[in-house]
Amino acid sequence: MSPELNQLNYAQVIIQVNDKHLTNHLNEPLQKALSSRIPGARIDVRLLEVGPPVGVPVSVRLSGESEVELRAQAEKVKAIFRSLPMATRVRDDWGAESFVVKLQIDPDRANLAGVTNQDVAGASATAINGFQVSSLREEDKQIPVVARMRMEERAQLDDVQDLYVYSYSGTGRVPLRVISSIAYETQTKKMRRRNQFRTITVSCFPEAGVLSSEIMAVARARLDQALRKLRPGYRMETGGEEEEQKEGFKDLAIVMAISVSSIFLALVLQFRHAVKPIIVFAAIPYGIVGAGGALWVMGSPFGFMAFLGVASLVGVIVSHVIVLFDFIEEKHAEGEPLEQALLDAGIMRLRLVLITVGATVIALFPLASHGDPLWEPMCYAQIGGLTVATFITLLLVPVIYSIFVLDLKLVRWETRKDHAV
C-alpha cells in the first residue's frame, strides 16, 4: 500500500475481515455508503494490493514546466474521463487551488521604520500562532505554555494589521498597517514532481464490473489526440495498472521466451531432429485457449497471476506431449507401421496422461476455492489449460505427427518391411 503524504486533512483506515473472500464483495457497498453519507470528502475504498502498489488503477501523467499549462491539459484529460460512463471519481493529485492570504511588506517603509522582515514575521507569527514562553510538566508529559492574542482580537484578517512590530535591534515600534498590505490569491498547495519535472497525474476509478483496461481502450484515441496537441517540452505518460502490467508482462515474456527456447534445444538434442520439437509444441496454443476460456467462465481477469499460470502451463503440457511422443519414437525404432504406432501410443499412454493431469487438476481445486484470492486466476488458468490440452494431446498430436510424415514429408518413417514410407 502506498499512503498519501503526511497532512492534516488525510486519514487512512484499514479494515480486516474474518473471511478473505468477502473483501471483494465489501468494496462497492462500503464505497457507496461512505460517499453518500460523508459529503465534501474524497473517500476511496480499495483493496490491499499484491506486489508493487499501483494506487489508482487508471492514471495519466502530464509533465512540463508551466503550472498553468499543466492544469489546462489536466482539465482536458479529466473531461475525457468524465465523458465515459464506466469511469468514476475523476481527480488529479494536485487538488484544487487553495485560498491564500499574503502579507506584503513595503521594504522602503520598513527600512525607514527600522524593522526587518524577521521582525514582521516574528510579530505576526506570535500574534496568530502564538509563541511558547514556557512549559508545564505533568507526570511524563510537557504541556507548552503559549502566549498569543485573544480570539476576538484575531478573528478577522484585518486584525493582523493592528499589530505593532517591535525591532529586535532597537527600541522602536511601528504599526504593521503602516509598512504592509494584505493580498489575496489562490495557489497550488501540493505540487508534485517526477524526474525533476512538475508532474500532475489525472486518475479515475472504474465502475463495478469494469476493468481499467476497458477504460483505457475507449479513451485511447482521444488521449492520443490530446498528446499530439501538447506544446514542445510537455509529455504525457500512462500510469496505473497499465504501466505495471506492461513492465510485469515484459519481464515474464522474456523469461517465457528463454524457457521455451531452452526446452526446444533440449528436445532437439533428445530427438536429434529439428522438426519434431515443433510437433511437441503443437498442443501449447490450445492449452492457452483453454486457460483463457476458464478465466472467462469464472469471471477472473487475465492479470499477472493468470499470466504466471499460463507460463507454467507450457512446461506441463510439453511434459505430457513427451510422454506420448516418446512412445511413438520407441515404436518407430522397433519398425512398427505409422498408423499402428499412433494408435498404440494413444491407448498405452492414456492412463499415464490422465493420472498426472487428474492429480494436478484435483489438487488445484482446493487452492482455487479455499485458498487466497491471489491464487485463483493462476489455478483457473492451469485447470482449464490442462483439461483442454489433455484431449488435444491425445487426439491432435497423432494427427499432426501423421501430417508431418505422410503429407509434408518432413519426418521420415521407416518400417521393417519397406523403408520407403
pLDDT in tens, 91-106: 998 888 888 878 888 8
What pLDDT does residue 74 have? 92
Cβ atoms of 57 and 212 closer than 8 Å: yes
Whole-number percent of the chain with pLDDT over 70 = 96
CA–CA gap between residue 228 and residue 225 (Å, rounded): 5
Overall residue count recorded for the chain in this entry:
421
- Measured in whole angstroms, the distance separating CA 162 from the mean position of its chain's CA atoms is 54
Least Cα distance to 77 among 93, 55, 99, 97 occurs for 93
Q: Give the residue-averaged pLDDT of 1-18.
A: 80
- Measured in whole angstroms, the distance separating CA 113 from the mean position of its chain's CA atoms is 59
Q: What single DSSP character describes residue 393? A: H
pLDDT in tens, 259-312: 888 888 888 888 788 888 888 787 788 888 888 888 888 877 777 788 788 888
Contacts 24+ apart (CB under 8 A), 359-367: 360/316, 360/386, 361/386, 361/387
pLDDT in tens, 207-227: 887 888 889 999 999 999 998
Q: Coil, strand or helix: which one is 300? A: coil
**Could you write out the three-class secondary structure of 132-172?**
EEEEEEECCEEEEEEECCCHHHCCCHHHHHHCEEECCCCCC
Q: Give the residue-averaged pLDDT of 377-392.
A: 85
What pLDDT does residue 278 have? 84
Question: Which of 46-55, 231-240, 248-257, 259-268 shows the highest mean pLDDT?
Answer: 231-240
Q: Give the residue-averaged pLDDT of 351-378.
A: 82
Q: Give the residue-averaged pLDDT of 326-347.
A: 80
CA–CA gap between residue 404 and residue 400 (Å, rounded): 6
- pLDDT of residue 416 exceeding 70, the answer is no
- pLDDT of residue 419 exceeding 80, the answer is no
Residue 1: band (very low, low, confident or very high) from pLDDT cuts 50, 70, 90 = low
- pLDDT of residue 29 exceeding 70, the answer is yes
Q: Is 162 exposed, middle or buried (0-12, 13-18, 19+ CB in 10 A)?
A: middle
Q: Is 345 exposed, middle or buried (0-12, 13-18, 19+ CB in 10 A)?
A: buried
Cβ atoms of 204 and 81 closer than 8 Å: yes
Q: Which residue has the cell 518391411?
A: 417
Least Cα distance to 74 among 52, 57, 55, 97 occurs for 97
What pLDDT does residue 304 have? 73
Helices (H), 9-145: 23-37, 67-82, 107-113, 117-128
Residue 51: band (very low, low, confident or very high) from pLDDT cuts 50, 70, 90 = low
CA–CA gap between residue 300 and residue 311 (Å, rounded): 17
Identity at 79, one-letter amino acid code: A
Report residue 5 as a C-alpha cell: 503524504
Kindly list the structural domains of the chain, giving each domain's residue range(s) and its CATH number in brackets, ordered by start: 1-48 (no CATH), 51-96+193-239 (3.30.70.1320), 98-187 (3.30.2090.10), 273-407 (1.20.1640.10)
pLDDT in tens, 56-100: 889 999 999 898 899 999 999 999 999 999 998 899 988 888 888
Q: Give the residue-averaged pLDDT of 397-401.
A: 81
Mean pLDDT (the chain) is 82
Least Cα distance to 194 among 243, 146, 229 occurs for 243
Least Cα distance to 58 among 268, 206, 232, 174 occurs for 206
Q: Give the residue-averaged pLDDT of 43-60.
A: 81
What pLDDT does residue 50 have? 67
Q: Which residue has the cell 492479470?
A: 303
Whole-number percent of the chain with pLDDT over 90 = 11
CA–CA gap between residue 70 and residue 235 (Å, rounded): 10
